[in-house]
Amino acid sequence: MVNGFYEAMRAKGFSYNTTAALKKFRCPECGFEFSMMYARAIACQGCSEANNNCPKLRCSKCDSEFFMTDTPQVNNDYQQRNLSEHIGRIVTKYNSDMGYAHKR
């Protein structure tokens, strides 16, 4: 399921990785829907693995973790690694800009 924000960003020329990070993922445990960006900002906040290209998503509702490749949005290990590295760079830059030490 693709939401309107994703479509608007894609139409403006944002990269695949940026728009893919905004697609909705569904938690296999509780069914909560969230974007990868939301997961990194809320559920993964303070986790050192968020800076290290973690291939997992964490549900902020039930706190379960699952691999991106377990979802229909990410089809293979290459795509998973590509998205993980992209989000890792965003989190690292944000923490650096804000002066945060990214440790739990």
Asked, for residue 103, whether it belongs to a domain, the answer is: no
Rounded to 5 degrees, φ, ψ at 13 are 95, 15
Q: How many domains does the chain have?
A: 1
* C-alpha to C-alpha distance for 24 and 80, rounded to whole angstroms: 15
Asked, for residue 54, whether it belongs to a domain, the answer is: yes
Asked, for residue 38, whether it belongs to a domain, the answer is: yes
Asked, for residue 28, whether it belongs to a domain, the answer is: yes
Q: Say which residues have a Cβ less than 8 Å from residue 43's Cβ, sequence separation at least 6.
A: 58, 59, 60, 63
Asked, for residue 13, whether it belongs to a domain, the answer is: yes
Asked, for residue 21, whether it belongs to a domain, the answer is: yes
Asked, for residue 104, whether it belongs to a domain, the answer is: no
Structural domain of 34: 4-98
> Tell me, what's the pLDDT at 1?
43
> Tell me, what's the pLDDT at 27?
92
What string of H, E and C letters represents the secondary structure of 5-50? Answer: HHHHHHHCCCCHHHHHCCCEEECCCCCCEEEHHHHHHCCCCCCHHH
Structure tokens at 69: 């490749």
pLDDT, one tens digit per residue, over 40-74 is 888 887 777 877 788 898 998 999 999 988 888 78
Give the end-to-end CA distance of the chain in Å, rounded to a whole number.
33
